[in-house]
Amino acid sequence: SRAKLFDEKTEVKTTFKDVAGLEGAKEEIQEIVEFLKTPEKYTVLGGKIPKGALLVGPPGTGKTLLAKAVAGEAKVPFFSLSGSDFVEMFVGVGASRVRDLFKQAKDKAPSIIFIDEIDAVGRARGKNNMSGGNDERENTLNQLLTEMDGFGTNTHVIVIAATNRADVLDKALMRAGRFDRQIYVDLPDIRERKEIFEVHLAPLKKVEGLDTEFLAKQTPGFSGADIANVCNEAALIAARNNKTAVDKQDFLDAVDRIVGGLEKKNKIVT
> Which positions touch ligand ATP (CB under 6 A)?
19-22, 59-65, 116, 162, 164, 196, 199, 224-225, 228
Paired with 81 in beta bridges are 115
The residue (of 60 and 72) whose beta carbon lies closer to ligand ATP is 60
**Positive or negative: CA dihedral 135, 141, 145, 151:** positive
| Residues 80 and 113: beta-carbon distance below 8 Å | yes
Closest separation between CB of residue 15 and ligand ATP, Å? 12
Q: Is 64 annotated as a binding residue?
A: yes
DSSP letters spanning 147-180: HHHHS-TTS-EEEEEEES-GGGB-GGGGSTTSS-
DSSP-based three-state secondary structure for 114? strand
Closest separation between CB of residue 9 and ligand ATP, Å? 14
- Separation of alpha carbons 80 and 93, rounded Å: 17
Closest separation between CB of residue 242 and ligand ATP, Å? 27
Closest separation between CB of residue 195 and ligand ATP, Å? 7
Q: How far is CA 251 from CA 40, 172, 231, in A?
A: 49, 46, 7
Closest separation between CB of residue 5 and ligand ATP, Å? 19
DSSP-based three-state secondary structure for 232? helix
- Separation of alpha carbons 47 and 161, rounded Å: 23
CB neighbours of residue 268 within 10 Å: 6
Q: Is 106 annotated as a binding residue?
A: no
Q: Tell which residue, 67, 83, 61, has the closest CA to residue 9.
A: 67
DSSP category for residue 243: -
Q: Is 60 annotated as a binding residue?
A: yes
Q: Is 248 annotated as a binding residue?
A: no
Q: Is 62 annotated as a binding residue?
A: yes
The residue (of 76 and 196) whose beta carbon lies closer to ligand ATP is 196
How would you class 145 by CB atoms within 10 Å of its CB: exposed for 0-12, middle for 13-18, buried for 19 or more? middle
Closest separation between CB of residue 17 and ligand ATP, Å? 10
Q: Is 61 annotated as a binding residue?
A: yes
The residue (of 109 and 120) whose beta carbon lies closer to ligand ATP is 120
The residue (of 35 and 197) whose beta carbon lies closer to ligand ATP is 197
The residue (of 150 and 203) whose beta carbon lies closer to ligand ATP is 203
Q: Is 38 annotated as a binding residue?
A: no
The residue (of 144 and 161) whose beta carbon lies closer to ligand ATP is 161
Minimal CB distance residue for ligand ATP: 224
**Binding site: which residues?**
57-64
**Binding site for ATP: which residues?**
57-64
